Amino acid sequence: MRRGIPRRVVTATALVATLALAATACGDDGDSGDDKASGPVTITWWDTSNATNEAPTYKALIEEFQTANPNIKVKYVNVPFDQAQDKFQTAAGSKGAPDVLRAEVGWTPGFAKSQFLAPLDGTAALDKQDDITPSLLKQAQYEGKTYGAPIVTDTLGLMWNKELLKKAGHDAPPTTWDELKQVAKDVKSKAGVDGFWLNNATYYELPFLYGEGTDMVDAAGKKITINSPEAVKGVDVSKDILASDGVAKLDVTADAYAHMMDAFNNGKVAMIVQGPWELTNVFKGAAFADKANLGVANVPAGSSGKSGAPTGGHNLSVYAGSSKEKQEAAFKFVGFMTSGETQAKIAVKNGTLPTRTSAYTAEVTATPGVADFQKVLAESAQPRPELAEYSSLLGDDFGQNLTKILQGKTSTQDGLNTIAEKFKKLVPDFS
């Protein structure tokens, strides 16, 4: 799963147009119509995991499920993460939508608000709810009903190359952004490589806002806070880091995310902010042939003295437009895929974090990186506010204007004011 490409924003006007097109724009990958033929019920699952590193695990689990449930067949379709939100938006309301979707937690409330998802409460999809981390279950709810079964969770942490930091005279990672600038400078001068790479995608900017005690919006108070003094200070921190010695130049190319990961995995940069979904990739890198060389810590703290990173992850959701027969099969499949036993298998193979307490077995916590990120999740992860539009706020308008700020093409205040004006279209009742 990548978060390096901002999600596109679908406005209310665009949504109407999308639904109008949906009746004639059935996707080739979906199959949510009634099963007229005799035999097993066939359901389609759109999986948004990494096709190379994560998908093989899910495909193997499908085989396991089908063996135990010969009356259900699962058609697997891997959909690129950065395309899935819009693709499902277009397909929803028509027979082109999948019966099951692996949705980023931020998408679930929005799709539920649009009545694209079936509630899972009281179905086989949500067995033993008390085993699920309460905050993660809360993120899957909208207006009191649950529309997603949490399958993996995540957050952002500071990944660091222990060998490179040791060469620079540091045995521990920086705990503040000011310390990070000094460590990056030391790495450059003593180890000869960049000390830090800043990802300019909006999701990765949130720790800078959280570090100043603010967010994009105050959902409870119905206020837009992206252009508040605290937010300006947070974005200025990231801008100042970019201008510091030992920090890689801002990469605004389409392949920036891949460039960052290649540099880190091969020891060309010492520190990045990243999530557990990249653990399997990192351990394939030359710099981490010895897995013990990878350090994972909380993202550095801002002037508030606190470290904060968004709580992410994915839910499995069931399409509201599927037939009753398909929905029942989908509920059973979702229940299997999100069970504690299955999540433990996923964690060991993919290095991701389970959402059920029972899944944190001794084998799972011994998996390199998992226990580290579990600690980060407990100490600094910040749940997203109960706002259906929150995920859309992270879209292109924010991303494009943030990049202009970081490039020095506009002042921080002016750029954030522009973003705030764009936000008003998404949350018109916010001041």
Q: What is the pLDDT of residue 384?
A: 85
From the centroid of its chain, how far is CA 48?
Answer: 11
Residue that the structure tokens 């009903």 belong to: 145
pLDDT at 18 over 80: no
> Running DSSP on this structure, what letter comes out for residue 91?
H
For residue 55 the two structure tokens come to 């998908």
Q: What is the pLDDT of residues 319-355, one digit of tens each?
A: 999 999 999 999 999 999 999 999 999 999 999 999 9
Q: What are the structural domains, with CATH classification, of the chain?
A: 12-154+312-382 (3.40.190.10), 157-310+395-426 (3.40.190.10)
The answer to whether the CB of 115 falls within 8 A of the CB of 89 is no
**Separation of alpha carbons 396 and 231, rounded Å:** 18
**C-alpha–C-alpha distance, residues 74 and 99, integer Å:** 10
Tokens of 259: 């460039």
Could you tell me if 265 and 259 are in contact, meaning their C-beta atoms sit under 8 angstroms apart?
A: no
What's the pLDDT tens digit per position in 123-171?
A: 999 999 999 999 899 989 999 999 999 999 999 999 999 999 999 999 9
Residue 353, SS3? strand
Give me the pLDDT at residue 13, please.
35
How far does CA 315 lie from the centroid of its chain? Answer: 11
pLDDT, tens digit, for every residue of 158-207? 999 999 999 999 999 999 999 999 999 999 999 999 999 999 999 999 99
Residue type, 297: A
Region 97-109 average pLDDT: 94
Burial 387-425, CB ≥16 within 10 A → b, else e: bbbbbbbbbebbbebbbebbeeebebeebbebbbebbee
Percent of the chain with pLDDT over 90: 84
Return mean pLDDT, the chain: 90
Identify the three-state secondary structure at position 321: coil
How many C-beta atoms surround the C-beta of residue 237 within 10 A? 22
Q: Give the 3-state secondary structure of residue 356.
A: strand
Count CB atoms within 10 A of the CB of residue 26. 17
pLDDT, one tens digit per residue, over 49-65 is: 999 889 999 999 999 99
Give strand pairing partners of 44: 75
Q: In terms of pLDDT, which residue wins out, 29 or 385?
A: 385
CB atoms within 10 A of CB 169: 11
Q: What is the pLDDT of residues 293-328, one digit of tens each?
A: 999 999 999 999 999 999 999 999 999 999 999 999
Question: Cα–Cα distance between 371 and 348 in angstroms, integer?
Answer: 11
- Taking the CB of residue 36, how many other CB atoms lie within 10 A of it? 5
Radius of gyration of the chain (CA): 22
The Cβ-side half-sphere exposure at 213, using a 13 Å CA radius, reads 5
Residue-level pLDDT at 69: 97
Q: Which candidate, 256, 265, 310, places its Cα nearest to that of 285?
A: 265
Angle of helix 229-242 relative to helix 177-191, nearest 10 degrees?
0
